[in-house]
Every structure is written in C-alpha cells, then in structure tokens.
Structure 1
C-alpha cells in the first residue's frame, strides 16, 4: 500500500470516529513562508505536510483536490495538488519558482481575503470549506477582523501553530465574540514532523464537526 493510500485509510477512520463520513468539503492549505520557515521548506517538512493534508482532501473533496496558498508579507495562490502530481510539489511550485515571494515577514489578512474571494466570489457555492492554516508564530492581530467578517461564509479556519513561537492571538480564537458561529480553531505542535498521522488527523478534525453542526443550524451551509 502506498503512503498516500495508508494515510487515506487513517483519514477515513478519523471521519468515521467523528461522524463526518457523509460530509463533502472543499479543502485548502495556507502555508507560512516567512523567513523563520526556511529550514522546514528546505528539509522536506513542508512537502510532507502537503502530502499529509492531501489525504484529507482526497476523502472530503469530490475531485480529491487540495487548494494551496503560500504567504509572507505577500501571498501566492498556487496550482492545486492531487494524488497524480504531489511529488516534488514544494520544490517545483515554491522553492524553484522565482515568482513566489518567500522568506519575508508574515502578514495573514491578504492571503485570507484571497481564500474568501476564491470560495465565495469566484466559486460561490454553499459547500463547506475546510482551510488548514500552517503558521510558525507572530500572527498579526488584524486577522480577528477577517475571521469575524468571514463567519457568515461556509469557511472553517483550522490554524496549526508549529515550533515554539508566540501564538497568543491564535490561542484566543475560540473566545472571540461577535460571530454568528465559531468558525476558527487552533492547536499547537512543537514538531509537526514528529506527530503521527493518526494524531494529526484527530486534532485537525476535532472542531470541524461542531462548526458543521452550527453552520447548518444558521443556514450558512445546507442542512
């Protein structure tokens, strides 16, 4: 069994455990490419993260497609990735792509606005959107406005903090007021490469079911 097939089986197990087997969702990943992330890009960790998240998209999305963004103080929307073309994705589309701005400072709202634009303007569709947002610290406080503004949209933001930086802004996501539903969650991993696939999928999908239920009740997504 290939690694991607094994991971898909683990995702299926997690979906069954969390009663998400009947959920169809569009899946995207937003990758921090600020200066402090250089080592993780160059040692293959980010490529591995893309492959691990692709297994989630393969089970949730009808066409098995994972949408991809990278950002520092600028952002790029990259070609989507599938099981057919994930090999060397990071090298080909990011590290060896001179058009990608990389290893600057971080600024989250512009890339988040592009995510919202893609799923609510370009592809206006009530199908739930599950965004996995990888960040290694220093998130700007103005993301609170973007998250609050997008609470009426069919988008759930799952932030994953990696490393040992300051994640105070992200830690307060669950207690943010002024939203029709709680549309964002956060968990922290010191070393994402050391976390098992099973553990990663369990944490990634921990709060998504609660958002699905609340979003249906508020008719943000179809009941």
Structure 2
C-alpha cells in the first residue's frame, strides 16, 4: 500500500515537472504552505477524502520547490491552527490523524480569514525572516471576509504570493476582485475557481495553480522583495 501511495506522489511530481518546464519555473526554490478552510460547509470534503487528496497534490509542489520537501499547513474557521509540516514520509492519513482526530483544532464553525493570514505572514517574515519566495495555496469554499483585501495589500511588500483556490458553488465576491485591487507594490495574489476540485486533473490543477506565480517572481525580484 505504501509503495502504491508513494508512487502516486512520484507520478504527480512528474506531471508537475512538465508544468514547471512550460512556465520556466525549473530550479526555483520557494517555501510552500497550504491554508485549509475547515468551516462547517467543508465537513463533507474532509470526511470523503477530498481534502486529504488536495494535501497530497499540493505536497508534490512543495517537494519540487522546497529544499526540505515539506509543506507547511494551517487550518481555520473562526480560529486557526498552525500544524507541523507534512512530507512524503508522513502524508498518509494526514488529514484524519493530524486534523480530524486532533482535539485541539477548532472545526466546522464559521469563517474568519484575517487571523490565519496574519499568522502566515508572521511565520515567514518574523519567525523566519528571509527573502526566499513563499507560495501559499489558500483553499476556501466561499464567504471570505472583506478585510482580507487590506491584509493582501499590506503584504504586497513581503515575499509571499497568495494563490487562492475557491471550491464549490459560492460566488466568491471578495476573491474575484483580487486582480483589480489598487495600492499594492506588486500583484501578490491570484484567484482560481474549481467547482469540484476532485474532478480536476493534476495537469489542469498544476497549470492553473502556477499561472501567475512566474509573473509575481519577476515583479518581486525587480522590486527587491525577493533575492534574484
């Protein structure tokens, strides 16, 4: 079983490699994190294994970009938890063992994004203050509070790119306006919508996830936000 699961990670890394080559991202080093919505409307996606598969698919990105091959993980509803990083050695049943079975994690309440976003920024700019780029995949199924726009604007001077992924059939009013936000040093965020992320192929997922990251890297280097 372990061999089969590990081979699926290896297969995804091969698929990802072709995307990296197409987007001229081979050789890029970046810290990678995932923020997972764990509000009440996400309950079924946790119980049916969809969130576990999302973690595995994003782990392939971390394995390619991060020197340590580790994926930093946060979950949030009205509260948030920063979890130990997940790697290829310990990703099996990660969602069940580290999230659903963890009594210290607040689960299935309402949403409040600013506290978890501020913790992401704190980790990469205070606790680990360096100019290595950070690629954050933020999974959300709607209802995001409007004040996230102020946080994203203020964070545009930081070495963090926010890739928001909307899943489900909400209207994502706040996230749809990211590309037209004014007042940022660089465009540091992108939004993509996938009604059923479990039905999206790895090829399409990686292509869309990495669509604007290359442009941000160039802009952030030009503004000396990250090192060349």
Q: Compute the TM-score of the two structures, normalised by the length of structure 2.
A: 0.97
Q: Structure 1 CA distance, aligned partners of 2:171 and 2:76?
A: 18
**133, 151, 154: which one pairs with 2:156?**
151
RMSD, aligned CA: 0.6
Q: Structure 1 CA distance, aligned partners of 2:135 and 2:190?
A: 11
- 1:130 corresponds in structure 2 to 135
Q: Structure 1 CA distance, aligned partners of 2:171 and 2:203?
A: 26
Aligned: 1:22 with 2:27: yes
**91, 102, 119: which one pairs with 1:114?**
119
- 2:109 corresponds in structure 1 to 104
- 1:139 corresponds in structure 2 to 144
Deviations 1:42-62 (A, max 9, x none): 000000000000000000001
Alignment of 1:60-71 (within 5 A): 60-71=65-76
- 1:175 corresponds in structure 2 to 180
Aligned with 1:131: secondary structure?
Answer: strand
Q: Compute the TM-score of the two structures, normalised by the length of structure 1.
A: 0.99
Aligned with 1:63: secondary structure?
Answer: coil
Consecutive unaligned residues of structure 1, counting only runs of 5 or more, are none
Aligned: 1:34 with 2:59: no
Consecutive unaligned residues of structure 2, counting only runs of 5 or more, are none
Q: Structure 2 CA distance, aligned partners of 1:10 and 1:184?
A: 24
Alignment of 1:73-88 (within 5 A): 73-88=78-93
- 1:203 corresponds in structure 2 to 208
Deviation for aligned residue 1:9? 0.5
- 2:16 corresponds in structure 1 to 11
Deviation for aligned residue 1:77? 0.1
Aligned with 2:121: secondary structure?
Answer: helix
Deviation for aligned residue 1:166? 2.1
Bigger Cα displacement from structure 2, 21-30 vs 1-10: 1-10
Deviations 1:95-131 (A, max 9, x none): 0011000000000010000000000000001000000
Aligned: 1:90 with 2:121: no
Q: Structure 2 CA distance, aligned partners of 1:167 and 1:46?
A: 19
- 2:168 corresponds in structure 1 to 163
Q: Which runs of 4+ in 1 moved over 6 A?
A: none
